[in-house]
A and B are shown apart, each in its own frame.
Chain A
Amino acid sequence: MNSDTLPPEPALLERLRSAVGDDGVFTDPDRLLVYESDGLTQYRHPPSAVVLPRTAEELGRVVRVLHEAGRPFVGRGAGTGLSGGALAVRGAVVVGTSRMNRILELDPVNRRARVQAGVINAALTAAARPYGLIYAPDPSSQSACTLGGNVAENSGGPHCLKYGVTNRYVTGLTVVLPDGEIAELGGMGREDGGLDLVGVFVGSEGCFGIAAEIEVALVPAPLGVRTLLAIFETPADAGRAVTRIMARGLLPAALEIIDSATIRAVEASIFAAGYPTDAGAALVVEFDGVEEGLDREIEIAAECCSAAGAREVRTAADEEDRQGLWRGRKKAFGAMGRLAPDLLVQDATVPRTRLPDVLSRIAEIAARYELQVANVFHAGDGNLHPNLLFDRRDPDQVRRVEAASGEIMACCIEAGGTITGEHGVGLDKRKYMPMVCSSDVLVTMAGVKAAFDPWGRCNPGKVLPDGIGPRHQGAGRR
């Protein structure tokens, strides 16, 4: 066990058990193993213990007990995060939301839902569908990830091009602050004239407290959908098609690109979607809304693809066809697993017009480090996922992956972009933060963190680089 894993003393365990019941606390190493990493598996670190509350009140009691014991802790949803955010370092205890999975309220009149933080993203949309409503943000991990994790990461998804990301839809939060106090933030129909605490909590990567309950806005399910798949010789051509489509004044619901390495991986897997394996890139374009006008929009998009050099354009004839066109995109991550023992899922955003240029630079960087890169990305948003394939048992490969990642980040920043578009900073990207934030901004972020968590015990060791602290030492403390 790692040196800073620290089993709680018996008295603390006893108090935790009395807060959530005996079956809600465990410390046996076998069971802790499940919690030693998230979706970014090169970071591993078992927690000191796991506690699973069932309600906001229980969650409040757990955090209060941990606070009184001076014990750091970290909230955890489904563990699909891709930045090491849910790892329990520095002796932290995991507070998981897997038993907080109830949809508390569905209010179709006000297009609103209230859920416990452990509700799975796709389960919410499934529950809203009978009312003709959906929860719009749709991360590719939506069948597993939780709303709590989505809130913490401000997650996006393929359809966020048109609909916007998580922070657009979270209207209220019941949060447990790091001292165990329960606070209501925001709420649809309520106004307190104060700061947008909901807005700043979303995207706080579990560092400001643990969300217990989440209120979200729902939107009407689109009445019609049209999808096309275009095949290109190079990702740069696909990127140019994206620019043309946007220049025509269209607003697609989704614009997704997968490159040749990814296509080959998908086609060789059980998820084979019938994409041509000699293609340089595939672009999925989707429009949604009222039925009228969709055919015309998809026609224009097809023209744009052809003009950018597409060698083939397929339009989905029906829903089954449409699912087929999407399959290659949706199963991309799953399929990549078979290309190499390990996959570093990268995430960065650049201004959309810089895509072709940045993609060739990334290819050049990967070639220089003799690494294979597989790109899958939300092209409409300029949100790249240049995934690096490697074997973590080989220290030299690990070193090259590390160096190449740094150069890719630098290249995206130089193009006017940023180091993460949706996966968050977590453990993984702390070192890059000074590349995008001035030291004054970093210190201010530390100050805002200290306003929520003056004790620094809530998800320690994440987001901010070591050595960055608030400028008013102890200012937040009462």
Chain B
Amino acid sequence: MKPVMPERVLERMRRLLGEEGALASGQRVAAFPASPGEVGAVLRIAREEGWTVDPRGGGTADGEGDTPGAGAADLIVSSSRLGELVEHEPADLTFRAQAGLTVAALERRLAEEGQWLALDPPGGGRVTLGGMVASGVAGPLQAQFGRPRDQLLGVTLVDGSGRILVLGGRVVKNVAGFDLVRLVAGSRGGLGVITEVVFRLYPLPGDDRTLVWGFDDPLEAWEQGRALASLPLPLAAVEWLDGDWPEPLDGSGPRVLVRLLGSEEAVAGMRRVLEGVAGPPDRAWAGPESRKVAAAIAAGAAEGTAILRLHALPGEGAALLALVDQLAADRAALHLLGGTLRVSTRPAPADSTLQSMRAEAGRSGATLTVVRRGAREGGTGTEGPKSDFTGFSPPVAELHRRLTHEFDPGGILPGSWREAWSGEGGWVAAGKAGTRG
């Protein structure tokens, strides 16, 4: 169902947020609130009007904004006017920032103090703190630092009824009540709009090195990479890559990257052990160059027409490689300690290919998620499904229904409407979504 009166909603939003605070695009509206209070008011209007809402950060999950998710909700609530670094306490190694601040801009500020947020989510320069937390994604550094949830200390959420919930705190250990911070991380906008986050930080390591070994055969690369990943060393990242990657990662073909962080002595020590197993690397980058490699992986991953994500136990990654063999992938990256494979392909795969891959994945206990669907031959790229879930068991589905209802009783947020839109992938049974009839 299309919203009945975009003009009225636009008008109400503009009265609240100013002329610049809301835009119309066809039957849909985008709102740009600048405070948690404004976000709350926007969500209350949406609920009154029976409009579905999709929170939006950098929009990297949607390609350039013209592929699937972009057109799916009636109202986009953007975090682009919530971009402040509110507080940075270097001695405490924590910061508090608004959700629309990009990870890249934040890292530049932190580096001046010799600190960093030890996360490298895929998506490149536009990825926001809120988008990263909401999607729960992590890049190669997850080997040592985990996912955003593992570094997140607090979050401010405006829920589907417009309540402002300040959750967690700014200390690294906190068990005062149920852990709603973990519930919000990875909720993909389904519980509300994140307006602020608090993270723990680390001092920049004394040494930062990335080593790379090239191979002729993807499987051989995988086996060597797993051998390195299985060493009893605190490796910051162990990544298998295939395809053409941007500068400074020149050349193409299968390779294994290892990133080492720590004191100079520790990094040199780890390097000696790695070389004992794999021989001298084909190339090595140090300091800022090593950071550039990490950025190239994050940004390069975002350039595909379609992006697929496959997941299995780390030791079973070879099965994932076999699965994507049938795709003409431009780029592929596999976390050798985490078991996640991301593939960018151009052109987008046919539905039948996806279906057979999904069935195949299911048989080997792996999961396949379509992060970005991309335009297909004869299609516009705007039809779903964007993502696909393997389905919940009945008690887990019931938990999702109840939890979603607690945060979003009006059924306006993506946890409620996503399924009704794509036919799969939502948390809540179709038919309940939205209140407009």
Residues of A in contact with B (beta carbons under 8 Å apart):
109-112, 132, 153-154, 156, 160, 164-165, 167-168, 177, 181-185, 188-197, 199-200, 202-205, 207-208, 220-223, 243, 246-251, 289-294, 296-297, 349-353, 378, 381-383, 416-425, 429, 433, 436-438, 440-442, 444-445, 447-452, 454, 463-464, 470, 472, 475-476, 478
Contact A444 B146 (CB under 8 A): no
Complex alpha-carbon distance, A350 and B314, angstroms:
37
Kindly identify which residue among B175, B269, B365 contacts A421, using a CB–CB cutoff of 8 Å. Answer: B175
Contact B263 A220 (CB under 8 A): no
| Smallest CB gap from B368: residue in A | A191
17 A-B residue pairings within 8 Å (CB atoms): A109-B230, A132-B232, A167-B150, A183-B399, A188-B313, A193-B388, A194-B392, A194-B427, A196-B187, A202-B182, A292-B270, A353-B92, A383-B173, A420-B174, A438-B166, A441-B166, A451-B405
Contact B176 A420 (CB under 8 A): yes
- Interchain nearest-CB distance for A308 vs B (Å): 14
Complex alpha-carbon distance, A478 and B279, angstroms:
61
| Smallest CB gap from B365: residue in A | A189
> Is B149 in the interface zone, CB < 8 Å from A?
yes
Contact B91 A247 (CB under 8 A): yes
Contact B266 A199 (CB under 8 A): no
Contact B311 A189 (CB under 8 A): yes
Contact A191 B369 (CB under 8 A): yes
- Interchain nearest-CB distance for B93 vs A (Å): 7
Q: Given A196-B185, A438-B166, do A476 and B402 touch, yes or no (CB 8 Å)?
A: yes
Mark each residue of chain B from 245 to 287: 1 if its CB lies under 8 Å from any CB of chain A, else 0.
0000000000000000011111011100100000000000000
Most buried by A among B174, B185, B389: B174
Contact A470 B406 (CB under 8 A): yes
| Smallest CB gap from B178: residue in A | A445
Q: Given A199-B149, A417-B171, do A296 and B263 touch, yes or no (CB 8 Å)?
A: yes
Kindly identify which residue among A185, A195, A291, A429 contacts B427, using a CB–CB cutoff of 8 Å. Answer: A195
Q: Given A183-B399, A416-B170, do A110 and B234 touch, yes or no (CB 8 Å)?
A: no
- Interchain nearest-CB distance for B151 vs A (Å): 9
| Smallest CB gap from B263: residue in A | A293
Complex alpha-carbon distance, A203 and B185, angstroms:
15
- Interchain nearest-CB distance for A168 vs B (Å): 5
Kindly identify which residue among A222, A249, A292, A437 contacts B177, using a CB–CB cutoff of 8 Å. Answer: A437
| Smallest CB gap from A208: residue in B | B178
Contact B233 A425 (CB under 8 A): no
Complex alpha-carbon distance, A220 and B395, angstroms:
35
| Smallest CB gap from A442: residue in B | B177
Contact A472 B409 (CB under 8 A): yes
Q: Given A349-B171, A447-B406, do A250 and B393 touch, yes or no (CB 8 Å)?
A: no
- Interchain nearest-CB distance for B227 vs A (Å): 12
Complex alpha-carbon distance, A194 and B186, angstroms:
8
Complex alpha-carbon distance, A382 and B200, angstroms:
13
- Interchain nearest-CB distance for A194 vs B (Å): 6
Complex alpha-carbon distance, A441 and B164, angstroms:
9
Contact B269 A203 (CB under 8 A): no
Contact A192 B180 (CB under 8 A): no
| Smallest CB gap from B367: residue in A | A191
> Is B169 in the interface zone, CB < 8 Å from A?
yes
Contact A418 B176 (CB under 8 A): yes
- Interchain nearest-CB distance for A410 vs B (Å): 14
Mark each residue of chain B from 390 to 406: 1 if its CB lies under 8 Å from any CB of chain A, else 0.
11110110111011011
Contacts of A156 in B (CB 8 A): 173
Most buried by B among A111, A189, A381, A425: A189
Q: Given A221-B232, A293-B263, A382-B171, do A203 and B179 touch, yes or no (CB 8 Å)?
A: yes
> Is B204 in the interface zone, CB < 8 Å from A?
yes
Contact B178 A203 (CB under 8 A): yes
Contact B183 A183 (CB under 8 A): no
Complex alpha-carbon distance, A352 and B269, angstroms:
31
Contact A353 B91 (CB under 8 A): yes
Kindly identify which residue among A184, A293, A352, A442 contacts B91, using a CB–CB cutoff of 8 Å. Answer: A352
- Interchain nearest-CB distance for A256 vs B (Å): 14
Contact A381 B407 (CB under 8 A): no
Complex alpha-carbon distance, A340 and B415, angstroms:
54
Q: Given A195-B190, A290-B234, do A353 and B175 touch, yes or no (CB 8 Å)?
A: no
Q: Given A221-B232, A351-B89, do A475 and B406 touch, yes or no (CB 8 Å)?
A: yes
Complex alpha-carbon distance, A291 and B232, angstroms:
12
- Interchain nearest-CB distance for B196 vs A (Å): 14
Complex alpha-carbon distance, A352 and B391, angstroms:
43
Contact A451 B183 (CB under 8 A): no
Complex alpha-carbon distance, A13 and B425, angstroms:
44
Complex alpha-carbon distance, A433 and B234, angstroms:
38
Most buried by A among B176, B312, B390, B399: B176
Contacts of A472 in B (CB 8 A): 405-406, 409
Within 8 A of A (CB), among B348-384: 365-367, 369
Within 8 A of A (CB), among B38-86: none
Contact A251 B203 (CB under 8 A): yes
Contact A450 B167 (CB under 8 A): no
Mark each residue of chain B from 136 to 158: 1 if its CB lies under 8 Å from any CB of chain A, else 0.
10000000001001100000000
Contact A195 B266 (CB under 8 A): no
Contacts of A378 in B (CB 8 A): 173
- Interchain nearest-CB distance for A250 vs B (Å): 7
Contact B265 A296 (CB under 8 A): yes
Contact B165 A424 (CB under 8 A): no
Q: Given A220-B234, A352-B91, A436-B169, do A189 and B178 touch, yes or no (CB 8 Å)?
A: no
Contact A185 B396 (CB under 8 A): yes
> Is B420 in the interface zone, CB < 8 Å from A?
no
> Is B104 in the interface zone, CB < 8 Å from A?
no
Contact B389 A382 (CB under 8 A): no
Contact B175 A249 (CB under 8 A): no
| 10 further A-B pairs in the complex, CB-CB below 8 A; given A110-B315, A193-B388 | A191-B369, A194-B396, A195-B191, A199-B149, A199-B182, A297-B263, A349-B172, A442-B177, A444-B163, A463-B178
Which 3 A-B pairs rank lowest in CB-CB distance, beginning with the nearest?
Answer: A292-B269, A199-B182, A293-B265
> Is B3 in the interface zone, CB < 8 Å from A?
no
| Smallest CB gap from A247: residue in B | B91
Contacts of A292 in B (CB 8 A): 265-266, 268-270
> Is B421 in the interface zone, CB < 8 Å from A?
no
